[in-house]
């Protein structure tokens, strides 16, 4: 990793450590105090996710449900450590500006990785078919959006086509905060 990359990863780690320690974020937008957990991925889940991004050598990732940006920070940290072309993380969240008062985008900005992240304030069931039509593809997907059966079902149907063969996806559910990795068959 270049010195610039190392410095970037250190900055991301600093924000992750602060959020893990404090468990709160104050929204710049309106001064509201938000408690990250248990809405955000747990530190153990997020750490495992970072490891998967690194192991897959992913450079193009997608996440359903930006929320507080805790999982996105770990994905970005993993991306910064991977060699290859300019990394890109796509994060979907139709409620980022409302329910989350922009906190997810705010922590990404504080961590210096806002430039890596493409946020769409659009529900996944609308954004994913559009990405498919545009011929987009990803190395790894993290699903932590609408946890109802129909929401997760649709996400996985579309991601099955958007994640490249040999890539991987993760899914969490709110009533079962465990993550599982599934490798796509070719
Ligand atoms: C459990 S939170 C995600 C937490 C995030 N992974 C983190 O670590 O901070 C669920 C997120 O999914 C978003 N969401 C809900 N329905 C969605 C949908 N149809 N498409 C995309 N995101 C959705 C919510 O606004 C919320 O940000």
How far is 173 from 102, CA to CA, in rounded Å? 23
Q: How far apart are CA 130 and CA 44, in angstroms?
A: 32
Asked if 172 contacts 179 with a C-beta cutoff of 8 angstroms, the reply is: yes
Q: What is the pTM of this model?
A: 0.92
* Residue 104 Cα: closest atom of ligand 1: 9
Under the banding of pLDDT at 50, 70 and 90, the label for residue 39 is: very high
Domain count, the chain: 1
Work out the percent of the chain whose per-residue pLDDT is above 90. 81
* 3-class SS of residue 63: strand
To test the pocket of ligand 1, the residue of 62, 65, 148 to mutate (highest count of ligand atoms within 8 Å of its CB) is: 65
101, 30 Cβ separation under 8 angstroms: yes
Query: Measured in angstroms, how far is the CA atom of residue 1 from the centroid of ligand 1?
Result: 31
Contacts of residue 119, defined as CB under 8 A and 6 or more positions apart, other chains included, come to: 66, 90, 91, 92, 93, 96, 104, 105
Rounded to the nearest angstrom, the gap between the alpha carbon of residue 1 and the centroid of all alpha carbons in its chain is 22
Per-residue pLDDT tens for 158-172? Answer: 999 999 877 777 776
The CATH number of residue 76's host domain is 3.40.50.150
Average pLDDT across the chain, whole number: 90
Q: Is the pLDDT of residue 179 over 90?
A: no
DSSP 8-state symbol, 180: E
Q: Identify whether 93 is preceded by a cis peptide bond (ω within 30 of 0).
A: no
Q: Contact, 91 vs 119, CB < 8 A?
A: yes
Tell me the CA–centroid distance for residue 83 and ligand 1, in Å.
29
Under a CB-based contact definition with an 8 Å cutoff, are residues 28 and 102 in contact? Answer: yes
Domain boundaries, position 135: 3-183
Q: Residue 174 pLDDT > 70, yes or no?
A: no
pLDDT band per the 50, 70, 90 thresholds, residue 137: very high
Task: Compute the distance from residue 145 Cα to the ligand 1 centre, in Å.
Answer: 4
- Residue located via tokens 């769409």: 120
Taking only Cα atoms into account, the Rg of the chain, rounded to an integer number of angstroms, comes to: 15
Query: Best mutation site among 48, 66, 157 for ligand 1, i.e. most ligand atoms within 8 A of its Cβ?
Result: 66
pLDDT digits (tens, 9 = 90+) for 56-75: 999 999 999 999 999 999 99
* Cα 123 to ligand 1 centre (Å): 9
């Amino acid at each position: 990793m270049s010195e610039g990359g190392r410095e970037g990863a250190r900055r991301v780690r600093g924000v992750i450590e602060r959020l893990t320690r404090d468990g709160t974020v104050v929204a710049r937008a309106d001064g509201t105090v938000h408690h990250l957990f248990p809405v955000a991925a747990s530190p153990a889940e997020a750490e495992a996710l970072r490891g998967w991004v690194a192991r897959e050598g992913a450079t193009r990732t997608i996440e359903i449900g930006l929320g507080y940006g805790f999982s996105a920070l770990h994905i970005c940290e993993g991306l910064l450590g991977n060699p290859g072309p300019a990394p890109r993380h796509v994060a979907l969240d139709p409620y980022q500006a409302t329910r989350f008062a922009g906190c997810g985008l705010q922590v990404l900005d504080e961590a210096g990785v806002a430039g890596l992240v493409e946020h769409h304030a659009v529900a996944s069931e609308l954004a994913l078919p559009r990405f498919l039509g545009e011929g987009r593809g990803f190395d790894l997907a993290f699903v932590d959006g609408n946890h109802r059966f129909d929401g997760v079902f649709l996400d996985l149907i579309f991601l099955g086509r958007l994640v490249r063969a040999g890539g991987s996806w993760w899914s969490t559910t709110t009533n079962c905060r465990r993550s599982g990795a599934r490798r796509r068959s070719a």
